[in-house]
């Protein structure tokens, strides 16, 4: 006999799906049977995830048996082998590796960044080289440091104020932004392009305040992109605590000096792979639904939230559909994309092959925002009929209401975005973001920072939306 909470949830689901079918673009036969099937399917997916989920133990193994896995590294090779081995145990119709060439950058010895105040001993500042940065000369660089909080301030100082100096970008994330990814987007440009913009005026190196709302001593790495028109200069991130310390010291002392020593290097591109597993569609095996995350991570911490969580959630979503007995109409693929962090080579190669083969992709979803409590699903598409399709998708919000999930227009995910030319509907899984940038690209992004239940709710949410998209979207 069904317990009260399950019965109540089931009733809400029936009412929600009834509204969905009133608004759906395609007529259904045996409507009452289908209503019951939809309601029970979504509930059973969540029940299976929360009772028998596999994503959390899978994440533990990925974190401790493989660890961080920067593209081109030995650990990235281990991650490919690990993912394929897990997929091989799942009874899928096919599992294979899709080759792609990826960048190969190595950090080298631990970075050294020090601040020199008058009459005091040098103060070490916690730092990480930015991915793709060049090294300093063997003896390092020591120079006067100049604090910059805007591009206008940088340009106003120009060559006269910056030549021979170290630029310290100290524009913080905006704490008033409730959507923390907006705050991140508002300042990450100084990390990505700041080195070349400073080199234009003769700066010798750059330090960047970490992209984090929390004041702590974990520096955040991430990609730097050089403009070939200017000299490549070393670039490092310092922790938010170090940034506060350095900013206070600059205010208290003129001509403050900082030293930077880094030994990173860029090696030739290396061979790697996307890892793909699929369940073939029972009605339309030549139409494809893709779900996945990126297998690579930065070379510090475990890469647990970014993006081990997304990998294991989507693997488990595929398993949840199997375990609940669902037979997909379209072919459903899981893809572990390689090289999102510093090149997007895996996502681009997957889309290139899909377009080359003339594959019909109807839907793709990426989980790459951490393993926190699900809050929303966002959707976009280049399809001229997307507005009409989105009205149908928006109607499903009622079915996720009891799980606290909204359905919104918006972005999707970096790895699935190259599929836009196929006119597929693209989606991004959006969990609560308030703690995400505490861990993003840091040594603190470790397995113990992921909550089992939150991770499992995410896997069920992804499986649920894939079920609905496969059932109704034409």
- Residue 210, domain CATH: 3.50.30.30
Those residues whose C-beta lies under 8 Å from the C-beta of residue 273, and which sit 6 or more positions away, are 80, 97, 98, 99, 100, 338
Whole-number pLDDT of residue 35: 60
Question: Looking at residue 364, which CATH number applies to its domain?
Answer: 3.40.630.10
Q: Examine the domain organization and report whether 210 and 323 are in the same domain.
A: no
Whole-angstrom distance, CA of residue 307 vs CA of residue 47: 24
Q: Examine the domain organization and report whether 163 and 85 are in the same domain.
A: no
- Domain count for the chain: 2
pLDDT tens, the chain, 474 aa long? 333 334 345 444 444 444 444 444 444 445 456 666 777 889 999 999 999 999 999 999 999 999 999 999 999 999 999 999 999 999 999 999 999 999 999 999 999 999 998 888 999 999 999 999 999 999 999 999 999 999 999 999 999 999 999 999 999 999 999 999 999 999 999 999 999 999 999 999 999 999 999 999 999 999 999 999 999 999 999 999 999 999 999 999 999 999 999 999 999 999 999 999 999 999 999 999 999 999 999 999 999 999 999 999 999 999 999 999 999 999 999 999 999 999 999 999 999 999 999 999 999 999 999 999 999 999 999 999 999 999 999 999 988 988 999 999 999 999 999 999 999 999 999 999 999 999 999 999 999 999 999 999 999 999 999 999 999 988
Q: Where are the beta strands (DSSP E) in 194-325?
A: 205-209, 235-238, 257-261, 265-279, 284-294
What is the residue range of 173's domain? 108-263
Q: Where are the beta strands (DSSP E) in 359-435?
A: 360-367, 374-380, 406-409, 425-431
CA angle 133, 241, 309 (to 5 degrees): 65
Whole-angstrom distance, CA of residue 350 vs CA of residue 288: 12
Q: Examine the domain organization and report whether 220 and 340 are in the same domain.
A: no
Q: Examine the domain organization and report whether 175 and 94 are in the same domain.
A: no
**How many residues does this entry show for the chain?**
474
Burial of 215 (0-12, 13-18, 19+ CB in 10 A): exposed
pTM of whole model > 0.85? yes
Domain end: 227, 242, 263, which one? 263
Whole-number pLDDT of residue 33: 67
């Amino acid at each position: 006999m069904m317990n009260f909470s399950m019965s109540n949830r089931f009733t809400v689901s029936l009412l929600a799906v009834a509204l969905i079918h009133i608004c759906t673009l395609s007529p259904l036969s045996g409507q009452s049977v289908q209503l019951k099937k939809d309601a029970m399917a979504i509930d059973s997916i969540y029940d299976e995830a929360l009772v028998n989920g596999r994503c959390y133990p899978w994440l533990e193994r990925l974190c401790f048996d493989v660890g961080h896995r920067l593209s081109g590294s030995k650990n990235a090779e281990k991650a490919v082998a690990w993912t394929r081995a897990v997929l091989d145990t799942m009874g899928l119709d096919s599992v294979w590796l899709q080759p792609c060439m990826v960048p190969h950058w190595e950090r080298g010895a631990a970075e050294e960044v020090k601040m020199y105040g008058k009459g005091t001993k040098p103060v070490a500042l916690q730092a990480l080289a930015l991915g793709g940065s060049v090294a300093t000369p063997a003896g390092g660089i020591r120079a006067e440091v100049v604090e910059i909080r805007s591009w206008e301030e940088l340009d106003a100082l120009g060559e006269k104020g910056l030549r021979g100096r170290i630029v310290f970008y100290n524009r913080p994330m905006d704490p008033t932004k409730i959507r923390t990814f907006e705050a991140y987007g508002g300042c990450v440009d100084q990390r990505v392009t700041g080195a070349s913009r400073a080199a234009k005026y003769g700066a010798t190196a750059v330090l960047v305040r970490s992209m984090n709302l929390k004041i702590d001593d974990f520096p955040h790495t991430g990609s730097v992109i050089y403009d070939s028109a200017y000299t490549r200069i070393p670039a490092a991130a310092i922790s938010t605590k170090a940034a506060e310390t350095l900013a206070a010291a600059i205010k208290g002392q003129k001509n403050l000096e900082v030293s930077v020593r880094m030994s990173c290097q860029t090696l030739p591109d290396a061979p790697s792979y996307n890892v793909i597993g699929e369940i073939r569609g029972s009605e339309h095996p030549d139409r494809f639904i893709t779900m996945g995350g990126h297998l690579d991570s930065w070379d510090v911490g475990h890469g647990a939230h970014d993006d081990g969580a997304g990998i294991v959630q989507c693997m488990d979503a595929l398993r949840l559909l199997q375990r609940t007995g669902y037979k997909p109409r379209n072919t459903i693929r899981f893809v572990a994309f390689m090289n999102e962090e510093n090149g997007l080579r895996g996502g681009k190669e997957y889309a290139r092959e899909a377009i080359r083969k003339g594959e019909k992709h109807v839907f793709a979803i990426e989980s790459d925002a951490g393993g926190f409590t699900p809050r929303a699903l966002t959707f976009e598409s280049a399809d001229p009929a997307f507005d009409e399709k989105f009205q149908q998708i928006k109607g499903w919000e009622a079915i996720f209401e009891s799980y606290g999930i909204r359905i919104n227009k918006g972005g999707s995910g970096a790895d699935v975005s190259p599929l836009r030319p196929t006119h597929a509907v693209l989606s991004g899984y959006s969990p609560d973001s308030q703690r995400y940038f505490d861990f993003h690209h840091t040594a603190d992004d470790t397995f113990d920072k992921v909550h089992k239940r939150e991770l499992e709710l995410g896997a069920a949410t992804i499986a649920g939306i894939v079920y609905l998209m496969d059932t109704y979207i034409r």
